[in-house]
Amino acid sequence: MKDKGDDHIRDVRGRAVVLPSSPRRIVSLVPSITETLFDFGCADRLMARTDFCIRPAETARVPSVGGTKNPDLDFVRALRPDLAFANQEENREPDVAALEASGIPVFLTFPRSIAQAVADLEKFATLLDAGEDAREMIASIKRAARNRRSHVRPFVPVFVPIWRDPWMTFNADTFAHDMLAAHGLYNVFADRDRRYPLAADLGLGAAKSADGRDTRYPRVTLEEAAARRPGLVLLPDEPYPFTQTDAGDVARALDLPAERVRLIDGGLLFWHGTRMRRSLAEWLEILAMR
């Protein structure tokens, strides 16, 4: 088999991932990619995963390297993987660099749209020499995404916090935003960049230069959210585990009926990979209630 780098399979950095043959020993530091490996029929190649790789349930049988932000790099090295999967947002750059310095090829992802996430899946399938079932799975995700966008009704303004104390959300430059848009939901904070320091983000002081830091996740107040007049609020269970108590707090602060503030599975918004196949279908149930 020729080097996979000859096929121009490049990660988000534009770096070719060069493998002499299909990887047989894989470490995944990304929960959604771990699930994808199972869905692609490659679970037998998975040597290790993170504590947060919990889907499907069978992942419990695979050794864990620790958290996404603090993996045991010595353990990873000892496994001598042919390939490691990482994500620019979920994993730390020093950890990725350390693995590569040890001679471990790392495929780094960072999709900010459904289309980019699908392109990653196509690259995974090629790298792994995945079978026809994997290719059909990818094709079905493409069809579902096209179908959702072609049947979008007038946009419903929505607020989706991902943290509280302080409240935090996301702007248009994110995968979650694109998933909302594909279903006719308008992110009311689409145009809102994160400002530094925190006081500036909350409207309590002057902003300073972001100095190249991530501006896609603004910290906001519920007063600012109310001013943007969302007609629907979705509270995911990750990264912050929102509860019905939080839903009541938000409904009162935004003067919304209780049924317009809903708890949802965070995987619907934040898990790319083959999770999109389920997410695109499950969103229909949420939209039917709106």
Q: For the segment 183-220, what is each residue's pLDDT rounded down to a tens digit?
A: 889 999 999 999 999 999 999 999 999 999 999 999 99
Q: Which of 146, 161, 179 is a domain's end point?
A: 146
Q: For the segment 160-179, what is each residue's pLDDT rounded down to a tens digit?
A: 999 999 999 999 999 999 99
| Domain of 170, in residue numbers | 153-288
More reliable by pLDDT, 3 or 119? 119
For residue 288, name the pLDDT band (cuts at 50, 70, 90). low
pLDDT at 152: 67
For residue 6, name the pLDDT band (cuts at 50, 70, 90). very low
87: number of Cβ within 10 Å: 22
149: number of Cβ within 10 Å: 13
Whether residues 141 and 223 share a domain: the answer is no
Using a pLDDT cut of 70, give the percent of the chain over it: 93
Whether residues 116 and 195 share a domain: the answer is no
Whether residues 184 and 274 share a domain: the answer is yes
- What number is the average pLDDT over the span 235-262? 97
Q: 130-139, 147-156, 185-194, 224-233: which range is least confident on average? A: 147-156
For residue 237, name the pLDDT band (cuts at 50, 70, 90). very high
Whether residues 203 and 174 share a domain: the answer is yes
Q: Which of 129, 146, 163 is a domain's end point?
A: 146
Q: For the segment 84-123, what is each residue's pLDDT rounded down to a tens digit?
A: 999 999 999 999 999 999 999 999 999 999 999 999 999 9
Q: Which pTM was predicted?
A: 0.93
For residue 1, name the pLDDT band (cuts at 50, 70, 90). very low
Predicted confidence (pLDDT) at residue 73 exceeds the cutoff of 70: yes
If one counts the domains in the chain, the total is 2
pLDDT at 280: 86
Average pLDDT for the chain: 93
pLDDT at 154: 66
More reliable by pLDDT, 285 or 258? 258
- CATH of residue 127's domain is 3.40.50.1980
Whether residues 122 and 172 share a domain: the answer is no
Whether residues 179 and 266 share a domain: the answer is yes
Whether residues 161 and 284 share a domain: the answer is yes
Whether residues 162 and 220 share a domain: the answer is yes
Whether residues 123 and 230 share a domain: the answer is no
pLDDT at 4: 43
Q: For the segment 34-72, what is each residue's pLDDT rounded down to a tens digit?
A: 999 999 999 999 999 999 999 999 999 999 999 999 999
Whether residues 167 and 274 share a domain: the answer is yes
Whether residues 202 and 138 share a domain: the answer is no
pLDDT at 149: 75
pLDDT at 7: 54
Residues 156 and 114: their CA atoms lie apart, in Å, by 20
Task: Work out the angle between the directed axes of helices 275-288 and 114-128 (0-180°, nearest 10).
Answer: 150
Whether residues 14 and 77 share a domain: the answer is yes
DSSP the chain: ---GGGGT-B-TTS-B---SS--SSEEE--HHHHHHHHHTT-GGGEEEB-TT---SGGGGGSPB-B-SSSB-HHHHHHH--SEEEEETTTS-HHHHHHHHHTT--EEEE---SHHHHHHHHHHHHHHHT--HHHHHHHHHHHHHHHHHHHT--S-EEEE---BTTTEE---SSSHHHHHHHTTTEEETTTT----BSHHHHTTSS--B--TT---SS-EE-HHHHHHT--SEEEEESSSS---HHHHHHHHHHHT--GGGEEEE-THHHH--TTHHHHHHHHHHHHHHT-
Q: Which of 80, 111, 146 is a domain's end point?
A: 146
